[in-house]
Amino acid sequence: MRAVGSSIPRHGAVDKVTGRTLYPGDLNRPGQAYMKILFAGRPHARIVDLDLSQAKRVPGVIAILTHEDVPVNEYGLILPDQPVLCGDVVRCVADQVACVIAETEEAAARARELIRVVYEDLPVLTDPEEAMRPDAFPIHPERGDSNVLAHYKIRKGDVEAAFAEADVVVEGTYQTPWQEHAYLQPEAGLAWVEGDQVVVNVAGQWMHEDRQQIAHALGWPEERVRVEYSAVGGAFGGREDMSVQIVLALAAIKTGRPVKVVWSREESIVGHHKRHPMRIFTRWAATYTGRLLACEATVIADAGAYAYTSTKVLGNVHLCVAGPYEWPAAKIDSFAVYTNNIPAGAFRGFGAPQGHFAAELQMNKLAERLGVDPVALRLKNCLREGSLLTTQAPMPPGVSLPRVIEAAAERAGWRAPDGRWRAPTVARPAEPHKRRGIGFACAMKNVGFSFGFVDQCWAQVELRGGGEIEEVVVRCAGADVGQGAHTVFRQVAAEAVGVPVGRVRLVAGHTDETPGSSGSSSASRMTVFAGHAILGAAREALKLWHDEVRPAVGTFRYRPRATTPYDPETGEADPNVTYGYAAQAVEVEVDVELGLVRVVRVISAHDVGRAINPRLIEGQIDGGVAQAVGYALIEDFQVEGGEVLTRHLSTYLIPTVYDVPDGVEHVILEIPDPQGPWGARGMGEMPFIPLAPALVSAVRDATGVWFDEIPLTPPKVVARLRQAR
């Protein structure tokens, strides 16, 4: 059995399902103390007084940390605009004000309740459009008078002339919601001092970036900080930014004791960032023959109180709001705006779901207006080899979107007997209050970091043995956040060296073991980038092995081709290394009396370039579809006046086994990407992206009503159906 292309069981799967795997919350060390964090609980206020006297008198309290204990009181993945512990102003309810360290969790919790904070409430901005107004107060006055964190433009062609000559104009205003990551494992960690190092064991997505931010806040050199990852119970982008890492390190240093923290589900929901809610205003111009002429769009993204990854998420939606189509002319303005809501940041799809939601509904509305099939209209206008993006850059080679669209449509029965594209007829339910319909959507998504970020991935391969290779030791820091990356690493190394996977041992536990960064487990990049790094290191090691060097150690740092940022005035850029492509057909059943929408069937087609592990790919498709169903139908995250109302999984509902589709059909294409190892391309985010617009289009097919806002909760569906009679 070849290593690459085989459905090898996921490494560690049995230990996880039997409970033997240790997550950060399972770890303990002798003499450890426990920490509780006091969150601000105010959307915007000045701290007038912070009284710790009663809290310090609680038996068992060891220390209480405030802003005065933080050497460099700032952090941030993109820019350091957030205090570790607030001492002056709090800008959202998730701000951290103090940390209590005690002998027991109970003592720490009791002392936290007794901390007296006197606040002077400040004005609150929660609507990004209001926050953009010139007379709005600045949430970060140190950054200037404007709350606009980022503004990107695209100016291509003569948009006014295109709309003047258009036969058809389709416009819409779309609203996409917050979304909570709801990963299985809430934030947790354990930190201790070991020699001249502080060791922080947490769950994250980028251990070297965690180390850098911890070291910065401590004012220490990075080599004095060691970050370890135990098992990671899900991430989806929610662990890219800091949560407990810095304060854990501070607590261990200040007390000289091991310190442990485990957040409750409520603390997790309030304390980490969410998917960006966005408002998108867009209009398209086209001819009667279905040729696209011009796209105009304005995107307003709520960044919340701090930057997190908003500038990069905005970059993605800025590109994707035009859809995966060729445009002679485009005028697009995208804004990320500070508010006093909890921060928004990375989430699976990273801006692409919001942009494609608007674009794909526009495409389906245009097809309806023209009286043509939506699949045929897509194939007429979709990006192909040599196509230019709205940024004027040519598509990277390996564009397979037309074949992906065709594969999904054909599996769904979209091809008529005469060879034309025509939506299949779905069975009508026997119950008179139910309707069925089918919808279609497609998408593209960047693989790798973008917009000029210098991406790289480091790996080392060591070959051990005498006459033959008896063991392969791979060092690569890429995090396995549940997607099976560590299984793929082993498969790539085994294939490259020519040994069974059982002879490969992966070392990926902490930053000292892997001195080079492998980058984040995000942007659908890990299979491609770590695959290249491991493959390169294996080749170097094999050269030494053939020269009789024992052990033979090869090191390789993979650097993909460079990308460029948006030009500030025209938007011209070569934004991404390469892309993944997806298309989905969704069949739904709608109860028009109760407003319940049930997903009956999903056909999900993906070009993966080369399927390193087909079973893991199918798992990613199933998981992405389930998560997207939650986004489209169920997950109704509520914020009012900056306060989070849905603080528990009893009020913020996520899909259960009863909510996932009755059937998910995987259509896996292997059309090699010239930039991937063995032609592989990333696909972990792609199954999420097209589902919501395909589902909404299916509801339109079933009921005759368009919905421009998700989630389609029963009250919203009933109200809209009644409004439309």
pLDDT tens sequence across 217-227: 999 999 999 99
d(Cα 268, Cα 276) in Å, to the nearest integer?
Answer: 17
Burial of residue 74 (CB within 10 Å: 0-12, 13-18, 19+) is: middle
pLDDT tens sequence across 416-467: 999 999 999 999 999 999 999 999 999 999 999 999 999 999 999 999 999 8
pLDDT tens sequence across 453-506: 999 999 999 999 998 999 999 999 999 999 999 999 999 999 999 999 999 999
Read off the tokens for 514: 């892997």
Do 477 and 516 touch, CB atoms closer than 8 A? yes
Do 24 and 203 touch, CB atoms closer than 8 A? yes
Overall average pLDDT of the 164-177 stretch: 98
pLDDT for 663 equals: 87
Overall average pLDDT of the 147-170 stretch: 98
Same fold across 24-122+184-234+239-271 and 456-558:
no
* pLDDT over 70 percentage in the chain: 100
Overall average pLDDT of the 115-128 stretch: 98
d(Cα 592, Cα 263) in Å, to the nearest integer?
Answer: 41
Q: Does 278-450+568-723 carry CATH code 1.10.10.10?
A: no
Overall average pLDDT of the 85-110 stretch: 98
d(Cα 104, Cα 86) in Å, to the nearest integer?
Answer: 25
Do 537 and 459 touch, CB atoms closer than 8 A? yes
pLDDT for 246 equals: 98
> Which residue in this structure is represented by tokens 């033997």?
20
For 456-558, which CATH class? Answer: alpha beta
For residue 395, the SS3 value is coil
Alpha helices in 238-287 (DSSP H): 245-255, 265-271
Residue 396 banded pLDDT, cuts 50, 70, 90: very high
- CA proximity to 245, closest of 186, 205, 200: 200
d(Cα 644, Cα 625) in Å, to the nearest integer?
Answer: 26
pLDDT for 1 equals: 61
Do 324 and 138 touch, CB atoms closer than 8 A? no
pLDDT for 447 equals: 98
> Which residue in this structure is represented by tokens 């170097």?
540
Residue type for 707, please?
Answer: F
Judge if pTM exceeds 0.95.
yes
pLDDT for 725 equals: 81
Residue 696 banded pLDDT, cuts 50, 70, 90: very high
- CA proximity to 534, closest of 361, 712, 680: 680
Q: φ and ψ at 641, to 5 degrees?
A: 60, 30
Element (H, E) at 415: none
Q: Within a 10 A sphere around the Cβ of 39, how many other Cβ atoms? A: 18
pLDDT tens sequence across 313-333: 999 999 999 999 999 999 999
Overall average pLDDT of the 16-41 stretch: 97
Q: Is the pLDDT of residue 662 over 90?
A: no
- CA proximity to 585, closest of 663, 683, 691, 668: 691
d(Cα 422, Cα 189) in Å, to the nearest integer?
Answer: 54
CATH number for the domain running over 24-122+184-234+239-271: 3.90.1170.50
pLDDT for 587 equals: 98
Sequence spans of domains, the chain = 24-122+184-234+239-271, 278-450+568-723, 456-558
